[in-house]
Amino acid sequence: MSFIIELKIPDIGNVADVEVAEVLVQPGDVVEVEQTILVLETDKATMDLPSTAAGTIQEIKVKVGDQVSEGSVVATLSSAEDQATAPVEEEEKKEAQEQETKPAESVPEPPKEEPIKEVPAKIEPAPEVATSTAGKAHATPAVRLFARELGVDISKIQKGSGRKGRILKEDVKNFVKKVMSEGAVSGAGTGIPALPAVDFSKFGEIDEQPLNKIKRLTGKNLISVWLNLPMVTQHDEADITEMEAFRKTLNAEQKDKGVKITPLVFIIKALLAAMRDYPQFNTSLSADGEKLIYKKYFNIGIAVDTPNGLVVPVIKNADQKSIIELAKEMGELSEKARQGKLMPADMQGGCMTISSLGGIGGTAFTPIVNAPEVAILGVTRASMKPVWNGQEFIPRLMLPLDLTYDHRVIDGADGVRFVVTITRYLGDIRRLLL
Ligand code: CAO
């Protein structure tokens, strides 16, 4: 024989019109005694409403946002007599008899052989639940328990996806997934304390946008490089007055052929020449850090700014290409990058990278090495400067260069020698022929 049991709101301390914040079950669900079926919310706290009986949910009589008070029937449940807990058996029997003579309002009339029991739930207030603005997690005890079981510090989940930012089980699961997949980003496993989460909505209106895949991957990679490589940046300036005059002539000649020659191709040429002079810049450390691998090929990566983030296509065998060929390939690769059409092979095999911000501006910056490469050359905007020639100041076009290198592989003296060598090649491009 089975019984239909009405689950009602018990005495909740003279609080009327409490809002239903979550409905955790639906008709047909089999529930256990003490399983939370609803979450109620007042201005100050949330409360779990546990089922007082085991059985199958027949009907849910409330929805999220409804107001309930003591005595409100929230659900009906069919239960085998021996499954139901009967904390107040005598009272239940009496109530069941009353139900037989006086059917409950808004409860569909049960089959005759199923006497109705009204079992007021023992409501569990969640005193420690507070709003996220108070710095504490906004979650039900069931979710807190779930988080504890997974070893998650729930206060690290700043905002949940439930109503009013409530943290749901799903948020806890997503948090665990994020920590597992982005361990490097949070500093997990490095012994470095994670940055504290901040609820920016406390200070004003915000708009939360997920990072795209390129940004997420770049971020992970940058953190890993930042934490693994001892990096030093060396700054210098190249006098490119003559180089620019030649570039302008060349550009005018090439205009009809649709090739645009920017300072970058000359910088690639000068970098290649310096790499030949200093082979330790065309190396990578082996994974165990015990060996230095010298490369006999010269592939140059170029950082390209795209609407989706930074990508680094690689010009393969750049040493075997002319200025015009490099300019053409640079144009094609940056176009492909901006259209999101680069293939993984287009971005692999780089020996050293150039990050040129010269088309935008800047006077200096400290680029991050594109590991496992051992150095990166940063370039910012050339400008006219007064330069002392031994007798007088003369106006010269000076190009700022920023060389960041992995100090495990490159000594400071070689770092400065290398960048000075690049300035020499750029200062007199005839030297590139030697
Ligand atoms: N000084 C002065 N002018 C420069 C210059 C420099 N160092 N570098 C380029 N210019 C000029 C070019 O001659 C061109 O002038 P015109 O339009 O009059 O011909 C203009 O600036 C624009 O150049 P560009 O940026 O389109 O072309 P580029 O070959 O110099 O650079 C590319 C190509 C793909 C590298 C660049 O477009 C880009 O994306 N740069 C951003 C890279 C980046 O985000 N790096 C940061 C990574 S974090 O480490």
In ligand 1, the atom with minimum distance to the C-alpha of 302 is: 35
CA 356 / ligand 1 centre spacing (Å)? 6
Residue owning the nearest CA to atom 9 of ligand 1: 359
What confidence tier does 158 reach under pLDDT thresholds 50, 70, 90? confident
d(CA 413, CA 409): 12
Q: So what's the pLDDT on residue 112?
A: 41
Tell me what the mean pLDDT of segment 267-273 comes to. 98
Distance 353 CA to ligand 1 centre (A): 14
pLDDT per position as a tens digit, 216-268: 999 999 999 999 999 999 999 999 999 999 999 999 998 888 899 999 999 99
Please give the distance, rounded to the nearest whole angstrom, from the Cα atom of residue 246 to the centre of ligand 1. Answer: 18
CA of 302 to the centre of ligand 1 (A): 11
Q: How far is the CA of 144 from the centre of ligand 1 (A)?
A: 52
AA identity, residue 377: L
Using the structure block, give the residue that is written with the tokens 């490089």. 225
Atom number of ligand 1 nearest to Cα 382: 1
- Expressed in angstroms and rounded, the spacing between residue 380 Cα and the centre of ligand 1 is 9
Task: State the DSSP H helix or E strand holding residue 75, giving kind and residue range, or none if neither.
Answer: strand 73-80
Ligand 1 atom nearest the C-alpha of 267 is 7
The bridge status of strand 2-8 relative to strand 116-120 is parallel
Q: How confident is the model at residue 170 (pLDDT cuts 50, 70, 90)?
A: confident
Cβ(434)–Cβ(272) below 8 Å: no
pLDDT for res 232: 98
Query: Model confidence over 12-23: pLDDT tens digits?
Result: 766 677 888 888
Cβ contact 106:128 at 8 Å? no
**Ligand 1 nearest atom to the CA of residue 251, by list position:** 19
Query: Which residues form the catalytic set?
Result: 407
Name residue 285's beta-bridge partners.
Answer: 292
Residue owning the nearest CA to atom 7 of ligand 1: 358
Q: Is the pTM of this model over 0.75?
A: no
Copy the structure tokens of residue 400. Answer: 């700022």
Separation of CA 430 from chain center = 48
For residues 184-206, give the mean pLDDT: 80
Q: Which atom of ligand 1 is nearest to the CA of 365?
A: 49
Q: Which residues line ligand 1 (CB under 6 A)?
A: 262-264, 302-305, 310, 334, 355-359, 367-368, 379, 381-382, 399
Q: Counting atoms of ligand 1 from 1, which one is nearest the CA of 265?
A: 29
Q: Inform me whether the pLDDT recorded for 165 exceeds 60.
A: yes
Task: Return the number of other C-beta atoms located less than 10 Å from residue 188's C-beta.
Answer: 13
Nearest CA to ligand 1 atom 22: 359
Q: Could you tell me which residue, 29 or 315, shows the higher pLDDT?
A: 315
Residue found by looking up tokens 């979650």 in the block = 139
381: closest CA among 403, 398, 393, 406? 398
Average pLDDT, the chain: 84
> To test the ligand 1 pocket, which listed residue (259, 262, 306, 423) has its Cβ within 8 A of the most ligand atoms?
262
* Residue pair 431/425 in contact by the 8 Å Cβ criterion: yes
Q: Whose Cα sits closest to atom 46 in ligand 1?
A: 355
The per-residue pLDDT for 188 is 53
Closest C-alpha residue for ligand 1 atom 48: 367
Q: DSSP states of 269-294 as a string?
A: HHHHHHHHH-GGGSEEE-TTSS-EEE
Element (H, E) at 232: strand 231-239
Output the CA 255–ligand 1 centroid distance in Å: 18
Which among 268, 315, 356, 422 is the best mutation to test ligand 1's pocket, defined by most ligand atoms within 8 Å of the CB? Answer: 356
- Which tens digits make up the pLDDT trace of 325-382? 999 999 999 999 999 999 999 999 999 999 999 999 999 999 999 999 999 999 999 9
Structure tokens at 148: 């504890």
